[in-house]
Amino acid sequence: MPQLEIRGVCVHYELSVPILKNIDLDIFKGEIVSIIGPSGSGKSTLLRVLIGLLPPAQGTVSFNGKVVDYNSKTCLKELRDQMTIVFQQFNLFQNMSALKNVTIAPIEIKKEPKKIAEERSRFLLDRIGLSEKLNAYPDELSGGQQQRVALARALALNPDILLLDEVTSALDPEMTNEVLDAIRELSEDGITLIIVSHEMAFVREVSDRVIMMADGCIIEDGTPTEIFDMPKTDRCKDFVGMILSH
């Protein structure tokens, strides 16, 4: 049974402009799925639907066989207990240090003992190379460091599924590599990852599956080799050809 089932999901923004059109997708446990495509194709919108920030106008999302009720706070809470997201702009809490950003949810929401939560958070921050920045506030950290804190914050909740929404887009190449290294390690942990990224070499390296989206639709879905070396549709060929030529 797929861990995530997306059936016929449609999303409209204001003035009924369709952003997602009839998305059908299955994600299996432990898969690393990358979503690529031009800007405005609906990749980030799809992640926002999955994490419950945006209800679909039509269609359903099921997690472990249970349909997500977007009108139910309890249902969304259960979903977010098992799934979390790292945003492009980090979205760290500006009034909290790096350590506090990572520990606050395990302590306040999951009600973990403070000592255990702090130990685990220190371990996570150390793992991603931020053991010396525990008491730094977000404005005292570089973009790459902030993004790694955001990763640690997401991992501190032990999610079954981790969504990564263009986590390197706001970073320079050096910081990008820092974050990609951290994600590369994650990919070996067996966690289900859904990655929206423009880093094609990275996508090709870590992904089990690559989905190409354009104009709110899934154009192609296959292994990295199928998408990058043997694209079937002209849209996908054009996109892959353009990015590989750079």
Partner 1 sequence: MFELAAEQAGMFFTWPNLGYWGRAMITTLTMAALGCGFGFIFAFLLVYFRTWPLKAMIPVRIILTLYVEVFRRIPFLVLTFLVLFGTRGFGFRFSLFSVACLTILLISTAYIAEIIRAGFESIHPNQWEAAAVLNFGRFKTIFGVIAPQSWPLIIPPAFSYFVMFVKETSLTSQIGALELMSAGKYFNSIGISPLLAFGTCLSLYFALSYPLTLLGHRIEKKLKLRFKGKIVKSHEISLIDRNKSHQVAN
Q: Which is nearer to partner 1, 159 or 222 (CB)?
A: 159
**Token duo for residue 74:** 């309890």
The H-or-E segment that residue 180 falls in is helix 173-187
**Least Å distance between CB 229 and partner 1?**
31
The H-or-E segment that residue 113 falls in is none
**Least Å distance between CB 217 and partner 1?**
19
Site of interaction with partner 1 (CB under 8 A):
13, 44-45, 48, 51-55, 70, 73, 76-77, 80-81, 84-85, 87, 89, 91-96, 104-105, 108-109, 137-140, 153, 157
CA–CA dist 114, 121 (Å, integer): 10
For 243, phi then psi, to 5°, come to: -75, -35
Q: Which is nearer to partner 1, 2 or 159 (CB)?
A: 159
**Least Å distance between CB 166 and partner 1?**
10
Q: Which is nearer to partner 1, 53 or 230 (CB)?
A: 53
**Least Å distance between CB 54 and partner 1?**
6
**Least Å distance between CB 138 and partner 1?**
6
Is 195:33 a contact under the CB 8 Å cutoff?
yes
Q: What are residue 214's DSSP bridge partners?
A: 217
Q: Which is nearer to partner 1, 170 or 217 (CB)?
A: 170
DSSP summary character for residue 234:
H
For 17, phi then psi, to 5°, come to: -70, 120
Q: Which is nearer to partner 1, 198 or 204 (CB)?
A: 198
Q: Which is nearer to partner 1, 1 or 17 (CB)?
A: 17
14: CB partners within 8 A, 6+ apart = none
**Token duo for residue 182:** 């951290």
59: CB partners within 8 A, 6+ apart = 6, 7, 8, 9, 10, 22, 23
**Least Å distance between CB 237 and partner 1?**
27
